């Protein structure tokens, strides 16, 4: 009996240590992580898609006696250029809540603030039917509060993390509505924005040590698209087929064209200058989805291709 009791105690200690270790790894604050967020702008005759990047730098700032990490952002990331990181806010985490300190104007629940302040970005202590008022880093922005409608868990980086759905959303439609995931954050932008010019933000992927730990299921982790450019040049540059075995054909009435092939990590895996109609062998590519970036003078065309 004593032996059985001892084994039980050892198992409980082991389980406790695993739970504690798991909780540590569910932190948003991690200097090895990066978030890729899609910004979509829908104008009257224009559709633009660009990718913004977020990362967190080491703890080196003390504000009001609290230690903060720097939150940095790269806007309109281009894989051909070095990321231009800018510090936008300061961030910390405590008791399953993520706090942001900002010097920007903010608004929450109908109230506006034009002075530096700290606000709660995420709260993973919420339960069913709890409400949460979003803070926007825009002046005079307002939206209805979030109401917790469903809670489950999802496997992230080899561990199950809490996922909170709001306002009637359920896991059947993971690319719609609003939800949060421990260790990842919101499925929207990292920092909440409110834009009257028909903009939306969607988390594409999250990385840790340059490896994807979360994929939102859009089929890519990087996108750069402008339909005005495509409409003006679509008849001038032809790419076929878009579902390829080995080769792809490119033809145009004007040259030269700079070709880049971008993978889901946003990395350029192939580059070539084109001076005439050509058939290119892409058999070396692994199976998956890629973005074909074609640049001629100041215009850029992006086309999605699938390698079988």
pLDDT at 15 over 80: no
Work out the pLDDT band at 298, boundaries 50, 70, 90.
Answer: low
The edge-to-edge listing of strands for the beta sheet with 268-274 is 243-244, 299-307, 288-296, 257-262, 268-274
Q: Which domains, and CATH codes, for the chain?
A: 25-215 (no CATH), 228-307 (2.60.40.3080)
pLDDT at 156 over 70: yes
So what's the pLDDT on residue 5?
Answer: 46
So what's the pLDDT on residue 262?
Answer: 85
Give the pLDDT confidence of 182-228 residue by residue, as tens digits: 999 999 999 987 665 678 899 999 999 999 999 988 878 888 776 65
So what's the pLDDT on residue 149?
Answer: 94
So what's the pLDDT on residue 253?
Answer: 82
Distance (Å, whole) CA 142 – CA 144: 7
Give the pLDDT confidence of 243-273 residue by residue, as tens digits: 999 999 999 888 888 898 988 767 789 999 9
pLDDT at 297 over 90: no
pLDDT at 231 over 60: no
- As given in the structure block, the two tokens for residue 3 are 């032996």
pLDDT at 20 over 80: no
Q: What is the mean pLDDT of residues 72-91?
A: 90
CB 281 within 8 A of CB 247: yes
Work out the pLDDT band at 173, boundaries 50, 70, 90.
Answer: low
* Residue 15 burial (CB count, 10 A): 10
pLDDT at 234 over 70: no
Distances (CA, A) of 300 to 60, 124, 233, 273, 296: 40, 42, 9, 14, 6
List CB contacts of 267: < 8 A, sequence separation 6 or more: 79
* Residue 222 burial (CB count, 10 A): 21
Work out the pLDDT band at 61, boundaries 50, 70, 90.
Answer: very high
High-pLDDT (> 90) share of the chain, %: 48
Distance (Å, whole) CA 262 – CA 77: 13
Least confident range of 5-9, 44-48, 148-152, 299-303? 5-9
Q: How many CA atoms lie within 13 A of 122 on its CB side?
A: 28
Q: For all residues of the chain together, what is the average pLDDT?
A: 83
Q: What is the mean pLDDT of residues 64-85?
A: 91
């Amino acid at each position: 009996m004593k032996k059985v009791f001892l084994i039980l105690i050892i198992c409980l200690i082991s389980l406790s240590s695993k739970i504690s270790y798991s909780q540590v790894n569910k932190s948003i604050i991690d200097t090895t992580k990066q978030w890729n967020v899609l910004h979509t702008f829908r104008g009257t005759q224009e559709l633009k898609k660009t990718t913004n990047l977020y990362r967190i730098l080491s703890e080196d700032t003390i504000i009001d006696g609290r230690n903060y990490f720097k939150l940095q952002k790269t806007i309109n990331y281009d894989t051909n250029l070095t990321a231009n990181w800018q510090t936008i806010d300061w961030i910390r985490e405590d008791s399953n809540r993520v706090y942001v300190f900002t010097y920007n104007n903010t608004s929450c629940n109908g109230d506006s603030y034009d002075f530096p302040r700290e606000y709660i970005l995420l709260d993973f202590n919420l339960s069913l039917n709890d409400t949460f008022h979003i803070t926007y880093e825009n002046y005079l922005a307002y939206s209805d509060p979030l109401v917790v409608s469903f809670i489950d868990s999802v496997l992230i980086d080899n561990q199950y993390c809490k996922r909170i759905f709001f306002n009637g959303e359920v896991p059947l439609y993971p690319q719609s509505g609003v939800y949060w995931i421990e260790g990842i954050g919101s499925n929207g932008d990292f920092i909440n924005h409110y834009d009257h010019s028909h903009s939306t933000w969607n988390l594409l992927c999250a990385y840790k040590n340059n490896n994807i730990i979360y994929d939102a299921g859009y089929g890519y982790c990087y996108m750069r698209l402008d339909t005005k450019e495509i409409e003006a040049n679509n008849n001038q540059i032809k790419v076929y087929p878009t579902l390829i075995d080995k080769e792809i054909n490119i033809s145009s009435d004007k040259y030269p064209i700079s070709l880049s092939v971008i993978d889901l990590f946003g990395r350029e895996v192939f580059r070539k200058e084109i001076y005439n109609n050509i058939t290119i062998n892409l058999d070396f590519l692994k199976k998956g989805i890629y973005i074909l970036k074609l640049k001629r003078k100041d215009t850029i065309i992006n086309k999605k291709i699938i390698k079988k």
